[in-house]
Structure 1
């Protein structure tokens, strides 16, 4: 397998959220075998590693020795479920921001609520916006940024609601782009990428043969073989000269296989584009 750098400068990682059944060392070893540039770390993996006696210094040294970077630490904070959960979400982000500083990670992933925007009441909006503001300030204290994942069934599930979140949340907030999350809601992901590109600091990539009537029957496939046109998204990212991380985000029994196949497809596609061949 060839994963030689392409002229577009994109870097590739795996989301460890899809590998919760593995310990962190196994995840990192798998990423290294797959010749990835980094690992987007689920905060639960870090917590377990530290509970088992590891330190952030040791983890950082392992990452450095194996030339693996951490483009994001992923939490499941949402700031919308209850007052108690709101406080726990904020503490979760604060803890992750501390780890991010220790590991040289630039951002923390959060969700903007846990309900579709069409169902959100003004009080839910207020709760989420206040949570994002508090979490963003906590991240800034550690020199990192807070990034909202664009995701269906959250307040960041349409162009207009994303714009509203950014307007109310302030200029410090970043976005994590996942085109597939718009596809499942029958939305074109490319206009979203165009409109918010300046705020997008990180990208998720996955694809499925998708069953819109019964999502559970959908089948994950390598990113350029599914029903969402990820080839068009990849080409748009290259056109925009995106040079950040692209994290493959799969769940289930084939995470590592699908990540490796997707990496081959994406690097090949970028190489073809770099040679200006059709």
Structure 2
């Protein structure tokens, strides 16, 4: 397991992805996260940028999080590396800022994507650009003392065991994984074998769940994590059996983010006890 010192503190802890709360400020989110009973916030880079644009400093942001007893297990970047060279350069420039922010906020890792097309449909140029982008991104993060983590996600090169094998083969343990079992279920893949195979790289986890409509995604219904189609009870059980001691971030979108997070935390707390 690739873990920071903060990750080695003890049992599983819970955080919220602020990507689903873009209309709120990080100050508002921090208060909500504390009130729900979370231990962390996985911060979308836009929330940090907004805080700084409004005159705040990274030191003040760290103080805000500390006062709410919140850690930052991950900063969420939207880098793909395969959308053309202009976008590629812009993504690396953005990542440079995020890595510096992560260091200041005592955050151990940056989340990125690998490619914007499915591994089954990707051209050789997509694989080549993704490989180069991950290498450059890893170096940027390393210079700031933080890790680079690729999210397992549908419609990316990291969408299946075969895609992950091809993507990560050159890197040994230099690149971490953000495990999201639901993203595999969207493609009708069993999430548990992927967790078993790639667990040594998993440093962070996303939980969300739905009653998923494979024919019309817009008709899918978000539900608390133990009530959906991805069998998160089995995923959580396997994480515990494997000895996972990092963060699980609730990653919901829409107008029920806080309520679904609250319900999910209550379910998992009861399940684990």
Q: Could you say which TM-score interval applies, normalised by the shorter chain?
A: over 0.9
Shift of 1:170: 4.6
Cα distance in structure 2, aligned partners of 1:93 and 1:169: 19
Question: What secondary structure does 2:70 align onto?
Answer: coil
Which residue in the other structure is 2:160 paired with? 158
Asked if 1:251 is matched to 2:241, the reply is no
Which residue in the other structure is 1:268 paired with? 270
Calculate the TM-score normalised by the size of structure 2.
Answer: 0.95
Shift of 1:53: 0.3
Asked if the contact 1:11–1:243 (Cα under 8 Å) also holds between the matched residues in 2, the reply is yes
Aligned mate of 1:48, from 50, 67, 90:
50
User: Where does the alignment leave 5 or more consecutive residues of structure 2 unmatched?
Assistant: 1-9
Which residue in the other structure is 1:194 paired with? 196
Cα distance in structure 2, aligned partners of 1:43 and 1:172: 22
Which residue in the other structure is 2:81 paired with? 79
Cα distance in structure 1, aligned partners of 2:38 and 2:115: 31
Which residue in the other structure is 2:181 paired with? 179
Q: Deviations over 1:5-26 (max 9, x none)?
A: xxx7100000000000111111
Which residue in the other structure is 1:226 paired with? 228
Asked if the contact 2:31–2:68 (Cα under 8 Å) also holds between the matched residues in 1, the reply is no
Question: What secondary structure does 1:201 align onto?
Answer: strand
- Mean Cα deviation higher: 161-170 or 107-116: 161-170
Which residue in the other structure is 1:18 paired with? 20
Q: Deviations over 1:107-163 (max 9, x none)?
A: 000000110111111111000110000000000000000000000000000101101
Asked if the contact 1:132–1:169 (Cα under 8 Å) also holds between the matched residues in 2, the reply is no
Which residue in the other structure is 2:150 paired with? 148
Kindly report structure 1 stretches of 4+ aligned residues shifted beyond 6 Å.
Answer: none
Cα distance in structure 2, aligned partners of 1:169 and 1:88: 23
Asked if the contact 2:27–2:64 (Cα under 8 Å) also holds between the matched residues in 1, the reply is no
- Mean Cα deviation higher: 63-72 or 148-157: 63-72
Which residue in the other structure is 1:60 paired with? 62
Asked if the contact 1:129–1:169 (Cα under 8 Å) also holds between the matched residues in 2, the reply is no
Question: What secondary structure does 1:250 align onto?
Answer: coil
Cα distance in structure 1, aligned partners of 2:53 and 2:202: 33
Cα distance in structure 2, aligned partners of 1:156 and 1:178: 11
Which residue in the other structure is 2:128 paired with? 126
Asked if the contact 2:115–2:130 (Cα under 8 Å) also holds between the matched residues in 1, the reply is yes
Work out the number of aligned pairs and report it.
264
User: Where does the alignment leave 5 or more consecutive residues of structure 1 unmatched?
Assistant: 1-7, 272-278
Shift of 1:165: 1.1
Question: What secondary structure does 1:108 align onto?
Answer: strand
Which residue in the other structure is 1:95 paired with? 97
